[in-house]
Amino acid sequence: MQVPVYGLTGEVIDQIEISDQVFAVPFNEGVVHQVMVGTLANARQGTASTKTRSEVAGSSRKMFRQKGTGQARAGSRRSPTRRGGGITFGPRPRDYHQDTPKKMRRLALKCVLSSKVKDEELKVVQELKLEPKTKYMVQMLNALGADSSALVVTAGPEEHVIKAARNIKGIKTMPANLLNVLDILSHKVLLMTVSAVRRIEELWGEKAVEEVKDASV
């Protein structure tokens, strides 16, 4: 499969071949959904906590005698029915972690990458040679039609790209090895350098699969 390569001013300057094993995978909604759910669950802290009637401060002594006062009978001040009392069935600290198989995570990543290509939301640039200034990044994004929401992916961490994009709302930068389903789906446009595309093919393409098979033999 071939995709156009853009210059920093938005014009097409070249065409490159990309791997069908990474960028032309049929979309599997069930797998993508499960990986997304797992990713969001793993991001939860699980620290929400409430106190039961045995944990809140206060006396457990009966507030007043059972009969003869004219009031409704009452027990402890810590009862869940009273203001300041304990909470019944409230949240307790828990672990939300989900183990998602590596093969499933890889397939989901390929599915969303392929979806971006199919929807023409993948923009490949030759390289990001620009000064670490916000205005230059804004100019490039405007030229590529990716000014409102874009995930900028480079082969590795590039300080000048990070500095140029860090103050722009809706724009996030990321090295190729940290690419994930959640970040791709959270942004409208996926903007990658040619070297980032090649790095992704190394990590999740045919060669990577063959290396895993050889290692398991």
Q: What percent of the chain has pLDDT over 90?
A: 89
Tens digits of residue pLDDT in 4-55: 999 999 899 999 999 999 999 999 999 999 999 999 999 999 999 999 999 9
Higher confidence at residue 56 or residue 216? Answer: 56
Q: How many CA atoms lie within 13 A of 202 on its CB side?
A: 9
CB-based contacts of 105: which residues, under 8 Å, 6+ apart?
Answer: 35, 181
Note the pLDDT of residue 217. Answer: 47
Q: Does the pLDDT of residue 216 top 80, yes or no? A: no
pLDDT at 1: 86
Could you give the dihedral angle defined by the CA atoms of residues 195, 197, 202 and 206, in that order, rounded to the nearest 10 degrees? -150
Specify the pTM: 0.83
Kindly report the number of other CB atoms within 10 A of residue 183's CB atom: 16
Architecture in CATH of 2-44+100-216? 3-Layer(aba) Sandwich (3.40)
pLDDT confidence bin for 96, thresholds 50/70/90: very high
Q: Summarize pLDDT for 61-76 with one digit per residue, the tens.
A: 999 999 999 999 999 9
Domain boundaries, the chain: 2-44+100-216, 46-95
Output the pLDDT for position 148: 87
pLDDT at 75: 94
Closest C-alpha among 39, 19, 41, 30 to residue 183: 39
The Cα 164–Cα 27 span in angstroms is 33
Asked if 2 and 124 count as a contact pair (C-beta separation under 8 A), the reply is: no
